[in-house]
Structure 1
Amino acid sequence: MNNNEYLIVLELRNQIAKLVNQYNKLEKMPFDTGLGDFLYPSELNMIEAIQSGKGKTVTELCEHFGITKGAVSQTISKLIKRGYVSKERSIHNRKEVLIELTEKGKTAFDRHEEFHRQMDESMTQLLQGIQKEKIDNFKQMLDLVINHIDKYSNLKDKRI
């Protein structure tokens, strides 16, 4: 790799790091539901997954998010205590516990969806002047970078 190529890779890596840091900052920021609570994105995402049918049990939610049962159970317990979700045994399988949104949970879901709609509209306006081909190229680049990083995140040998 020559010096020019190295500088390009370094700049790209720094930009990706900035993006990841901003995203992580956003993921740690609680949002006011307007219902007397602040919910973290992980809690809002759990509410969204339940409402949209991606998970009605702890096991399904684990599979959807790729996280442990303990992590899902902890989030669900917080949401139950705050009145956003409820748990009930399945009438078809007494061992299965179904998770459902309460009315408060449905309201939080609606507000979360509205937030995402506004965010998506803003992004659409931001991208309006960019040719579709350039956007497709950018998505292709992202896929390449994701696959490249994935190779390193799955290394058995973590030594540097």
Structure 2
Amino acid sequence: MESKEEIILNTVRQLQRFAAKYARIEDMPIPVEEGLEVTTREAHAVEAVGLRGHMSVTELAKFFGVTKSAASQTVTRLVDKGFLRKEPSPRSGKEFQLSLTDLGEKVQKAHERFHGADREELLKRLEAFSLGQISTVSVLLEALDDVLDRRLRP
């Protein structure tokens, strides 16, 4: 029988494998239309803006848990590619409001087609879990998030 420490170490190894696979998926191309692909990472940023209708660079940074500088670089790339529109915010002279262009809406739809089946399968599998099991996973993920946040702080 495995000890608690062995189970914890095995869980950490599983999480590391998961993180490595997820990182690879983030760089995978998603076909949008003939001759146009985006990375999953770019599609996630487009999706975040699209689901809210609009958001600021700061809100995007908070949503993904990245620095404002990193979010700004992503936004600049997505604006240059024609996926996002960046306009002065009506709420603040210092902020910009992001929204999807027509091409950005195509990216959002392509992302949903590409990953929709995976999301559906995951939701179906999670339905079999008890509320207690889901709560335990949630607490584990919060602990991981805290550890990673401390590691990422300058």
TM-score range, shorter chain: 0.7 to 0.9
Shift of 1:112: 1.3
Rounded Cα–Cα distance in structure 2 between residues aligned with 1:18 and 1:52: 29
Q: Which amino acid aligns with 2:97?
A: L
Q: 1:35 to 1:68 in 2, by over 3 A?
A: farther
Structure 2 portions without partners, runs of 5+: none
Rounded Cα–Cα distance in structure 1 between residues aligned with 2:58 and 2:76: 15
Q: 1:56 to 1:5 in 2, by over 3 A?
A: closer
Shift of 1:95: 4.6
Whether 1:138 and 2:133 are equivalent positions in the alignment is yes
- Does structure 1 retain, via aligned residues, the 8 Å contact 2:42–2:78? yes
**1:52 counterpart SS class:** helix
Shift of 1:105: 0.6
- What TM-score do the two structures reach when normalised by structure 2? 0.76
Q: Which structure's CA Rg is the greater one?
A: 1
Rounded Cα–Cα distance in structure 1 between residues aligned with 2:37 and 2:30: 5
Q: 1:104 to 1:137 in 2, by over 3 A?
A: same
Aligned length: 151
- Does structure 1 retain, via aligned residues, the 8 Å contact 2:28–2:39? yes
**2:55 counterpart SS class:** coil
Match of 2:43 in 1: 44
Q: 1:121 to 1:131 in 2, by over 3 A?
A: closer
Rounded Cα–Cα distance in structure 2 between residues aligned with 1:89 and 1:151: 33
Structure 1 portions without partners, runs of 5+: none
Shift of 1:155: 5.9
Q: Which has the higher contact order (CA 8 A, sep 6+)?
A: 2
- What TM-score do the two structures reach when normalised by structure 1? 0.73
Shift of 1:106: 0.7
- Does structure 2 retain, via aligned residues, the 8 Å contact 1:43–1:79? yes
Q: 1:78 to 1:148 in 2, by over 3 A?
A: closer
Rounded Cα–Cα distance in structure 2 between residues aligned with 1:96 and 1:80: 15
